[in-house]
Amino acid sequence: MTSLRLHDYEFTVHLFENDFIILRSSRIDGTINAEISLGILNQRPKFVDEVISSPSEILLKINEHFHEKSLESLYLIDFKSTSRSRQLKLPVFFGHEFEWDRVDLLTGLSKEVYIEKLVEADLTVSMFGFIPGFIYIDGLPEALYVPRKENPARHQSPNTIAVGGPYLGIYSIPSPGGWTSLGQAAVTLFDPGTLPPTQLNPGDKLQLEILEEEEFINLSNQSITLLKYNGIH
């Protein structure tokens, strides 16, 4: 175990079987962890395959390029550039094919009431994980909490908007998922072929916009990014 100072915070470094590095600090919260994780992800160090953030730690999945001096390259990352908060509109289609029966059963709220409260919520990007680019969004009112499933679904599509406990989440790639799906974003949020691959930063504020099905189809077919939709180039 050693230590590493990033973004003016001291981390302990734990290496597990040359597969993972876990960075831990007792002084910071999930938002700072997410800022640091995003900085690492955007820099794309050669020795890092994945970056997963949580409120208590940062996990780096490392590869054969890792050596004892690899961590020194993290000192060069400009973490401050990732921390500018923006107010962004996120267009979403809340179709009947999503899991509204489960939402009704566990919250007692109809689809219409749930969506109304969700659109009014003060939502903030909190952190990233558990798969590359997965977005955790904070600010969900307690009345909208839906517990995670005991038996995850086999497949969630990219851009699926879902709720898991106190968080709203957005799936970035096809994957199994234990969260309850609510809708689908109509714009691109994650592209592993670009630098940076993510369209959002920790601290960004989100305002959900409700789309009708025809609007969703038309906008999705344009394949535009979230930032372009918001006039940011």
**What are the backbone angles phi and psi of residue 149, rounded to the nearest 5°?**
-75, 145
Paired tokens of 83: 């921390």
112-115-118 Cα angle (round to 5) = 150
- Mapping DSSP onto H, E and C, the string for 93-129 reads ECCCCCCHHHHHHHHCCCHHHHHHHHHHCCEEEEEEC
First to last CA, the chain: 42
Q: Can you list the domains of the chain with their CATH numbers?
A: 2-82 (3.30.1360.40), 87-229 (2.40.100.10)
pLDDT tens digits, one per residue of 73-103: 888 777 665 556 799 999 999 999 999 999 9
Q: At what angle do helices 111-120 and 100-107 cross, to 10 degrees?
A: 80
pTM for the whole thing? 0.72
pLDDT digits (tens, 9 = 90+) for 173-220: 888 889 999 999 999 998 877 767 788 887 889 999 999 999 999 999
